[in-house]
Structure 1
């Protein structure tokens, strides 16, 4: 094996967990490790989807831009997470911008080579569909997010959506957003956000950290998000 350290990292990604040494070498040989010391745009909205990015260290942000110039971070990918797989098979250009944060390392696999690799390894497709299927399912939860009038439950739904989209499959996934970024996504005031986060933490559903929120119990938070509305006192104005 030419690069055992990189092969070990590659196998830590669920899609590639069972690759043989030869297949790992094949994929690594067409990939590159990209390092970023400062915040850097690596794919702009409107550009073709040219690489699959796997986060080795640091963070990769997915950023949306409004027609009037506003910017919003809608997903953050941490170590071991990947950018979108399905997008690599689309002819349409990227609709979102990908931004590497400072002190980030990414394993970049060219889209053309990766598509050819998957064609030679069709057993990987179910894993790819499972991973991006969770992200798609999370986006379907947007309806529940919009229709639920209870703000703490809306926030719980939003946290679960972000965790699924980020690709964090651990038992206690982290939402890698600052309070300001989360406030933008939740479309609420800072006071409302802090009050809801405090409520969820007091219930043992989340744990707040610097620049992140850890979901303590995914099943419990999901059950909380789906429970019946709790009355007018907690309703959005």
Structure 2
């Protein structure tokens, strides 16, 4: 019998071990699951942050679009990851648009349930603090990496960041993503991303295929992401 997708996500979510059996069951009952086709909007910008989101399958991106229509992607979220806790904690309007990069299934945990866990479970609260600290560290490193101006390091970081064990513990080694989209995430053009990927491939970190990138040696990729520093 195939594994239930929600149970698969929850079984790989380390925060679930912080909960009592009753709390865990409340989470299961509260979650709603929605499927999205590639390219469709999961959550629009400036709408209420009413849910904490978990990616059951596929991949999402966080982006903003300028008044002139230019799209700027600043993060991608692979399967197995939970995100959006900052906006949920503050109760603010969502500051970015969430779009499905490919066909995706998303778990929606209502804000009230999320806040109840935070209030009732000291272990969950400690987990969330560590999670937010890991996310802060990830973005500080991202800004540092981008300011150094080494495009190969920028592309390497955008890829290796998807394997951050605290934020994205279940990323598959073969990532379905276009070079154009990776370029947006890395803040470079598709042509620059292509040249960087070729260099990363020559150095044994990745293997590039049409529409996908396979990470061959994560340690090498991480070293190259830090090389400019």
- Give the TM-score band, short-chain normalised: 0.7 to 0.9
In terms of mean alpha carbon deviation, does 27-36 or 215-224 score higher? 215-224
Q: Within 2, Cα distance between the matches of 1:137 and 1:177?
A: 24
3-state SS of the aligned residue for 1:141? helix
Deviation at 1:136, TM superposition (A): 1.7
Cα distance between partner residues in 1 of 2:65 and 2:23? 38
Distance verdict in 2 for CA 1:176–1:145, change over 3 Å: farther
CA deviation vs aligned residue, 1:176-204 (integer Å, no higher than 9, x gap): 53101122333444433222211111212
Aligned to 1:111: 111
In structure 2, the CA distance between the partners of 1:189 and 1:41, relative to structure 1 (3 Å rule), is: closer
1:184 maps onto 2:198 in alignment = no
Contact 2:80 2:170 in 1 (8 A): no
Residue 207 (structure 1) shift: 2.9
Residues 109-118 or 123-132, more deviating: 123-132
SS in 1 for 2:168: coil
User: What SS does the corresponding residue of 1:67 show, helix, strand or coil?
Assistant: coil
1:50 pairs with 2:46: no
RMSD: 3.0
- C-alpha contact 1:178 1:211 (8 A) present in aligned 2: yes
Contact 1:7 1:24 in 2 (8 A): no
Question: How much does 1:102 deviate?
Answer: 5.6
Pairwise CA distance, 1:156: 1.9
State how far apart, in whole Å, the 2-side matches of 1:32 and 1:183 are: 33
Q: Give the superposition deviation at 1:166.
A: 10
Structure 2 length-normalised TM: 0.81
Change (3 A) 1:210 1:164: farther
Q: CA deviation at 1:175?
A: 5.4
- Counterpart CA distance in 2 for 1:87 and 1:121 is 20
Cα distance change on mapping 1:128 and 1:75 into 2, 3 Å:
same
Partners of 1:55 and 1:170 in 2: how far apart? Answer: 11
* 2:146 corresponds to: 146
With over 3 angstroms needed to count, the CA separation of the structure-2 counterparts of 1:184 and 1:59, relative to structure 1, is closer
Q: Deviations over 1:213-236 (max 9, x none)?
A: 34444443333333358xxxxxxx
1:61 lines up with 2:25 in the alignment: no
CA contact (8 A) 2:206 2:213 kept: yes
C-alpha change, 1:105 and 1:140, in structure 2 (3 Å) is: same
**Per-residue Cα deviation, 1:40-96 (whole angstroms, up to 9, x for no partner):** 323211112111111112222212222322123332222211222222111332110
Hey, what's the Cα distance between the residues in 1 that align with 2:182 and 2:212?
10
- Gapped regions of structure 1 (runs ≥ 5): 230-237
* Structure 1 pair 190–89 and aligned structure 2 pair: CA distance change class (3 A): closer
Distance 1:50 1:120 in 2: 19
Q: 1:153 to 1:102 in 2, by over 3 A?
A: closer
Closer, same or farther in 2 for the Cα pair 1:186/1:10, shift >3 Å?
closer
Give the unaligned 5+ runs of structure 2: none
Relative distance call for 1:87 and 1:213 in structure 2 (3 A) is farther
Residue matched to 1:205: 205
Higher-Rg structure is 1
